[in-house]
Amino acid sequence: MHAALKCAMMLPIVSLIGCTDAAGPEGQGEIRMYLVDSPGSYEKVNIVITRVEVHKENTDTASGWFVINSVPGTYDLLQLRNGVSAVLGSSKLDAGRYTQIRLIIGEGSHVVINGANKPLKVPSGMQTGLKLVHGFQIEAGSLYELILDFDAERSVVRLGGPVGGEEFILKPTVRVQAVVTSGSISGTVLPVAAKASVWTTVGQDTVFTTADTTSGAFKLVALPEGTYTLRFTPSNTAYRDTTISGVAVVKQQDKNIGTITLSAK
C-alpha cells in the first residue's frame, strides 16, 4: 500500500474542523482535499492518481490550472470508509474563486477479484483528467477543506466476457462536499452476522457504507446539513431490512444514533 495512504488512513473525518486559520503570505489561503469512498463488490479498488489541480475563475482554460499535489499515489478506495480518509492534496492558493477540480488518473489502476489483479482501463476521453465542477472561494489566511467521495461500485464498469476474461472500465463517479457545510451520521448495527449495508440519499446521489465486520460500527460522512432517512440492508437474508427516518445532521457535527438491532425473519 502507498506509504502516504498508510499514514492518511489514521485520520478520521470527525477530526476535520472546516475553515481555520492557516499560515501563509498575505493574499493566500490554503486548500486541503480528502478522499473517501462508498464500498464496492471487490476485494480492492486501487486507483492511481498522479496529479490534483484546481482551476481559477476567469483564467485561461489551459494555463488557469494550479497544482495541489503532483506526487503520484495509489489509493485502495475500499479502505476509505466509515470515517477513514486519505489526504489527496494540500497547497497554498491565491485568494479568489475557483470553479473546477481535476484529477489526473495514471496507469496501474486495478481491481482485485479472488486475489487476481484486473486492470482498470481509462477511456480515451479521460486522458486529460477527470474534471469535477465545484465552485469554492479561497479566503486569505484561511483553510478550505473538501471531501471527495469516490463511489467505487458505480465507478467500475464490468464488461461481459468469459470467466476471467472480462474487462473493467474506470468511469469515476465522485461527489464533492465542503467540510465546513457537512456533518456525519454514525452508530452500530447488530448483530454483526447480519453484515448490514447502511445508506441514505443526498439529492440524486446515494451515500453508502457497510458496517464493520467485527464491531458493527458504521459512519456516513460528507452529508450536507439536513434531515435524512437511513436504510439498513443486511446481506444475510436471515435478517430484515430496517428504516429510520428523521435523522438530523448539523454541519461540522457527528450524529450518533446508537445501536440499531436488526430483527430475524
For residues 105 and 61, give the distance between their C-alpha atoms in angstroms, rounded to a whole number. Answer: 19
On whether both 14 and 77 belong to a single domain, the answer is yes
Contact between residue 64 and residue 53 where contact means Cβ atoms under 8 Å apart: no
On whether both 220 and 161 belong to a single domain, the answer is no
For residues 263 and 243, give the distance between their C-alpha atoms in angstroms, rounded to a whole number. Answer: 12
H-helix segments, the chain: 3-8, 152-155
pLDDT digits (tens, 9 = 90+) for 98-132: 999 999 998 899 999 889 999 998 886 666 889 99
On whether both 127 and 214 belong to a single domain, the answer is no
The total of structural domains in the chain comes to: 2
**By residue range, what is the domain housing residue 222?**
181-261
On whether both 168 and 202 belong to a single domain, the answer is no
Domain termination site, one of 172, 200, 234: 172
Domain termination site, one of 143, 172, 201: 172
Domain termination site, one of 172, 189, 209: 172
pLDDT digits (tens, 9 = 90+) for 132-183: 999 999 999 999 999 999 988 889 988 876 666 788 998 888 999 999 999 9
10 Å CB burial of residue 184 (0-12, 13-18, 19+) is buried
- How far separated are the first and last CA of the chain, in Å rounded? 41
On whether both 155 and 186 belong to a single domain, the answer is no
Contact between residue 199 and residue 208 where contact means Cβ atoms under 8 Å apart: yes
On whether both 14 and 117 belong to a single domain, the answer is yes
